[in-house]
Amino acid sequence: MEVEPLLTELLMARGPGGQEDEVRSICLRELTAFCDDLKVDRAGNVIGLIKAAHDSDPDEAIRVMAHLDEIAMIVKAVEADGTLKVVALGGAQPICFGACPVDMLGDRTTLPGVLSYGSMHNSGSTPTGRDVLAGDVHWNDVHVVTRLTKAALEEAGVRPGSRVVLSQHWRRPFIVNDCIAAHFLDDRAPVTAVIHSAALLSKRRHLLKQDVWVVLTTLEEESNAGAMYAARTLPGDTTIAVEVGPVLTEYDTRLCADPIINTGDQKGYYSRTVIHGLLEASRRAGYEPQAALLLDFASDASAVMSAGVCARAGCIAIPTENTHGFELIHSQGISACAATLVEYLIDP
């Protein structure tokens, strides 16, 4: 399969938490050829089963998780003049988006708007104006310009609880020498890596000793709700999250193809046996893995591990600059992650 066209299609798809339909449909289409069984569960997760070459203990199955959703905004209020007040959906801050075009995902139609902090040409006489001039912008300083009446927005189904996302106008990836830059590489690049690993595994599945569950989760950015449901309802004693990993001096991580093997985060420390297996798998795949303790981070795997609904957990991440912003990954980062995953699944 071709990685970059799939990544571009996934980046262009809008997928705020709880409304990931556009992303989900692409994943279902791509996984059909590689999974023995494929469905959407009651929580909205995409669930694919790749069976072992021979009968195996269901409890030995490995669950590989990447999330469908992206950071976004949700409507808090529709003002009398049609302006929207919004708050974060997931780990977003206004700086993640800047003043930019947005799509308002109404119940009946999608409408364009502009995320605004107001004019920089202000005297600082209001709290909002002072925040904007200081560059210290918070969600209470932010609004969406719709140029529609409140009645027209209501007719379109734009209401409190409606999702607001970065417009497709600004979603296309941008090539920077040996890197790919885009919004929402978190988690579209890992989703691409998981699908690519399923394609690679289909050619080597005669070596597979245990079942593999591909789990593309909903609502990771808000609550890990999809992962928690999947871990409770699917067999398997090991969960691997596939993520983006921050490139920062404090973690001694580099922007390159070599995968980051996360050893722990804010929700707990990953299983030593799984960490060791992922490190060795990365070396077998021809890469030099980057072990890192990502303290200001969390994943579906650490969530289910900390809740006690999986016995063992690990996390592999694609090194990513500028996480939750206009992110950059190495052009070979997805392939390196997929190759490592395949080596681990064949010999954990």
Going from N- to C-terminal start, the domains of the chain cover 3-70+184-346, 74-165
CA distances from 304 to 11, 60, 307 (A): 27, 17, 5
List per-residue pLDDT tens for the chain, 348 residues long.
789 999 999 999 999 999 999 999 999 999 999 999 999 999 999 999 999 988 899 889 999 999 999 999 999 999 999 999 999 999 888 888 988 999 999 999 999 999 998 887 887 777 777 877 677 788 888 999 999 999 999 999 999 999 999 999 999 999 999 999 999 999 999 999 999 999 999 999 999 999 999 999 999 998 999 999 999 999 999 999 999 999 999 999 999 999 999 999 999 999 999 999 999 999 999 999 999 999 999 999 999 999 999 999 999 999 999 999 999 999 999 999 999 999 999 999
- Taking 3-state DSSP, the helix, strand and coil percentages for the chain, each rounded to the nearest 5, stand at 35, 30, 40
Burial pattern 228-260, b for ≥16 Cβ within 10 A else e, equals: bbbbeebebbbbbbbbbbbbeeebebebbbbbb
Backbone angles phi, psi at 343, to 5 degrees: -60, -40
Give the span between the Cα atoms of 101 and 54, in whole angstroms: 52
The bridge status of strand 62-67 relative to strand 238-246 is parallel
Q: Which residue has 């490190």 as its token pair? A: 279
Q: 44 exposed, middle or buried (CB, 10 Å; 0-12, 13-18, 19+)?
A: buried
Q: What is the spatial distance between Cα 171 and Cα 275, in angstroms, rounded to a whole number?
A: 34
Q: 8: alpha, beta or left, given left = phi > 0 and alpha = psi -120 to 50? A: alpha
Three-state secondary structure call for residue 316: strand
One-letter-per-residue 3-state SS of 17-84: CCCCHHHHHHHHHHHCCCCCEEEECCCCCEEEEECCCCCCCHHHCEEEEEECCECEEEEEEECCCCCE
Domain 3-70+184-346, CATH homologous superfamily name and number: Zn peptidases (3.40.630.10)
Fold classification of 74-165 is Elongation Factor Tu (Ef-tu); domain 3 (2.40.30)
Please say whether the beta carbons of 316 and 259 come within 8 A: yes
| Beta-sheet pairing, 312-321 with 260-265 | antiparallel
Report DSSP state, residue 16: B
pTM of the model: 0.95
Determine the Cα–Cα distance for residues 142 and 190; give it in Å rounded to an integer: 30
Residue 4, classed as helix, strand or coil, is helix
Q: Which residues pair with 321 in a beta bridge?
A: 328
Q: Is 144 helix (H, G, I), strand (E, B) or coil?
A: strand
3-state secondary structure of 166: strand
- Which phi-psi region, left, alpha or beta, contains residue 290 (left: φ > 0; alpha: ψ -120 to 50)? beta
Strand partners, 74: 87, 163
Asked if residue 105 lies in contact with residue 19, where contact means CB atoms within 8 angstroms, the answer is yes
Chain-centroid distance of CA 120 in Å reads 33
Q: Per residue in 281-294, pLDDT tens?
A: 999 999 999 999 99
